[in-house]
Amino acid sequence: MEQLSYAENKLIENSKLIYILYLVSLAFGITAIVAVIIAYINKDDQMPDWLKSHYNYQVNTFWKGMVILIVGVLTIIIIVGIPILIFWTVWVIIRCIKGMKLLDTQQAQPNPEGWLFD
């Protein structure tokens, strides 16, 4: 792996923090809002393309997760929402763990705009 500058190391640490905040948001929802704010603040900074893909992925995870969460909450009355909310929980966990794994190896997100786990 190449030697990274201090600024790039800080951006990597921030990106890892965002993934962690998303995981914590499963118990304390407000941390997801803090995470997406951090992602928006940092995503336009000067950084390698592989790291920029993580910030785009994190912003997309928030908004797509919000859509799934709202659908799940609105359909909980007809019981369909329960499996949707379970899927959402697993979806967030998998996306964050895969994201942190790629971040640790300094690899880009293969499809930052995607809906699933790639």
> What local confidence, expressed as pLDDT, does residue 30 receive?
94
Dihedral, CA of residue 102, residue 99, residue 18 and residue 87, to nearest 10: -170
- Which own/partner contact pairs does 9-14 have at CB distance under 8 Å and 24+ positions apart? 11/42, 11/45, 11/47, 11/51, 12/51, 12/103, 14/38, 14/42
Distances in whole angstroms, Cα of residue 65 to Cα of each of 1, 16, 29, 96: 32, 18, 12, 12
Using CB atoms within 10 Å of the CB of residue 75, give its burial: 0 to 12 exposed, 13 to 18 middle, 19+ buried.
middle
pLDDT at residue 1, rounded to an integer: 53
Q: Which pair of structure tokens corresponds to residue 98?
A: 């895969």
pLDDT single digits (tens) 9-61: 898 999 999 999 999 999 998 999 999 999 999 988 888 899 999 999 999 99
Mean pLDDT of 81-89: 95
Q: Determine the pLDDT at residue 117.
A: 61
Sign of the Cα pseudo-torsion (111, 112, 114, 116, in order):
positive
Place 96 in a pLDDT band, splitting at 50, 70 and 90. Answer: very high
pLDDT at 36: 95
- pTM (predicted TM-score): 0.90
